[in-house]
């Protein structure tokens, strides 16, 4: 079960999981961080007491959580849930994490923490253009459409090319031969949607609620916990704007408007991702009411199911 930010995934997923003896597995790249509660609309203790949740609050905010760790932990969680005879309800809107349930999302290059840290240190000590030029030397056939203005993508490409000794083209060719960790599972997808105007109204209410519930105080506490050491957490919508406000880079009256604007941009990206990677027939408009029960629970073929 996935859908747009502020669409209403949490309440619907809790109700469905209770009715169908399911446990919830998060595929949200921010819910893994302890202390990032208000800005992520993380399910609270009461919700998590109603239905078991997995892959929430698994690491400190100062430590960057990786997709390879997620793959290890989500596979283990699914195995344990099935071992208890329960269904698995995957919930979240992070496209990259969601992709892990439908196919491979990373290669099998082994990279030690020390090697990764060394490359990152050198990357941070020089202009981005120098790293891009190094990548070009390692890839005489071209960079294959790599966004060279995106530091994170450049860094990840540099790490993998150096660790493997292979070009991006060879890495891509090798990657296409891999299988996903859930290829042996039958899967059913539900994409929750609402009309654009309704989503934006819910978004404005959500931002107001976050600020009233103490988002600024939450981020101030997270600064002491080291959120600045973790780019993935510090750049998250709601957090990066609040960090800018606390540093004096953004006026108080601009804070809610800036969060709303950046969230609308995220909604646009989510629309693009859903259209590109998920089936159009899986979209359900919640303005029509809850999805029909048989739509969600009816299997397409025998087997073990991820919802």
CB 194 within 8 A of CB 7: yes
Same domain membership, residue 221 and residue 101: yes
User: Is pLDDT of 307 > 60?
Assistant: no
One domain for residues 223 and 91: yes
The per-residue pLDDT for range 253-285, each reduced to its tens digit, is 999 999 999 999 999 999 888 888 888 888 899
Last residue within a domain, chosen from 152, 175, 198: 175
Mean confidence (pLDDT) of the chain:
90
> What's the pLDDT at 301?
39
Residues in the chain: 307
Closest CA to 1 of 266, 49, 14: 14
DSSP 59: B
Strand partners, 305: 186
> Is 43 a residue whose pLDDT tops 50?
yes
291 shares a domain with 162: no
Residues 238 and 221 in one domain: yes
Quick: pLDDT tens for 142-181: 998 899 998 888 998 999 999 999 999 999 888 888 888 8
Residue 306, pLDDT > 60, answer no
109 pLDDT above the threshold of 90: no
Residues 34 and 88 in one domain: yes
Share of the chain above pLDDT 90, in %: 68
Q: List the CATH number of the domain containing 134.
A: 1.10.20
Contacts of 61 (CB under 8 A, 6+ apart): 33, 34, 35, 36, 222, 225, 226, 227, 230, 233
Quick one: 64 and 130 in the same domain? no
pLDDT at 300: 41
Q: Is the pLDDT of residue 81 over 90?
A: yes
At 108 the pLDDT is: 76
Structural domain range at position 268 = 2-105+181-306
Q: Same domain for 186 and 142?
A: no
Residue 221 pLDDT class (50, 70, 90 cuts)? very high
Q: Residue 29: is its pLDDT beyond 60? A: yes
pLDDT given for residue 296 in this prediction:
52
CATH number of domain containing 275: 3.40.50.300
- The reply to whether 201 and 288 lie within a common domain is yes
Alpha carbon separation from 249 to 223, 234, 266 (Å, rounded): 15, 15, 22
- Which has more pLDDT, 300 or 24? 24
What is the model's pLDDT at position 50?
A: 94
Q: What is the pLDDT of residue 294?
A: 62
Q: Is the pLDDT of residue 304 over 70?
A: no
Verify that 208 and 62 share a domain, yes or no. Answer: yes
Instruction: Please state the domain count of the chain.
Output: 2
Domain closes at, from 175, 203, 219: 175
Last residue of a domain, one of 175, 194, 213: 175
145 and 264 share a domain?
Answer: no
pLDDT value at position 302?
Answer: 37
User: In this model, does residue 61 exceed pLDDT 80?
Assistant: yes
- State how far Cα 53 lies from the chain centre: 16
Question: How many Å apart are CA 162 and CA 173, to the nearest integer?
Answer: 17
pTM of the predicted protein model: 0.83
Residue 205 has pLDDT above 50, yes or no: yes
Task: Assess whether 119 and 100 both reside in one domain.
Answer: no
Helices and strands (H, E) in the chain, number of each type: 14, 8
Average pLDDT over every residue of 203-221: 97
- Higher-confidence residue of 306 and 210: namely 210
96 and 220 housed in the same domain: yes
């Amino acid at each position: 079960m996935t859908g747009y930010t502020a669409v209403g995934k949490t309440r619907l997923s809790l109700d469905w999981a209770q009715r169908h003896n399911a446990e919830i597995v998060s595929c949200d790249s921010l819910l893994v961080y302890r202390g990032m509660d208000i800005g992520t609309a993380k399910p609270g203790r009461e919700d998590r007491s109603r239905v078991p949740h997995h892959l929430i609050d698994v690491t400190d905010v100062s430590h960057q959580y990786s997709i390879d760790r997620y793959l290890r932990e989500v596979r283990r969680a699914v195995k344990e849930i099935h071992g208890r005879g329960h269904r698995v309800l995957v919930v979240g809107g992070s496209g990259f994490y969601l992709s892990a349930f439908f196919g491979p999302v990373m290669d099998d290059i082994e990279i030690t923490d020390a090697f990764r840290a060394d490359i990152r240190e050198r990357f941070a000590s020089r202009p981005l253009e120098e790293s891009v030029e190094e990548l070009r030397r390692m890839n005489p056939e071209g960079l294959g459409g790599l966004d060279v203005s995106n530091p994170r993508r450049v860094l990840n490409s540099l790490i993998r090319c150096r660790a493997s000794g292979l070009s991006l083209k060879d890495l891509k060719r090798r990657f296409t031969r891999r299988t996903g960790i859930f290829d042996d599972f039958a899967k059913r997808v539900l994409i929750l949607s609402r009309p654009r105007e309704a989503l934006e109204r819910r978004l404005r209410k959500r931002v107001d609620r976050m600020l009233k519930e103490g988002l600024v105080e939450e981020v101030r506490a997270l600064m002491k916990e080291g959120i600045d050491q973790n780019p993935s957490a510090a750049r998250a919508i709601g957090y990066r704007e609040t960090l800018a406000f606390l540093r004096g880079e953004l006026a108080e009256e601009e804070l809610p408007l800036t969060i709303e604007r950046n969230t609308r941009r995220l909604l646009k990206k989510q629309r693009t991702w859903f259209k590109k990677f998920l089936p159009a027939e899986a979209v359900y408009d919640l303005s029509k009411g809850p999805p029909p029960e048989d739509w969600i629970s009816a299997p397409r073929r025998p087997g073990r199911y991820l919802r």
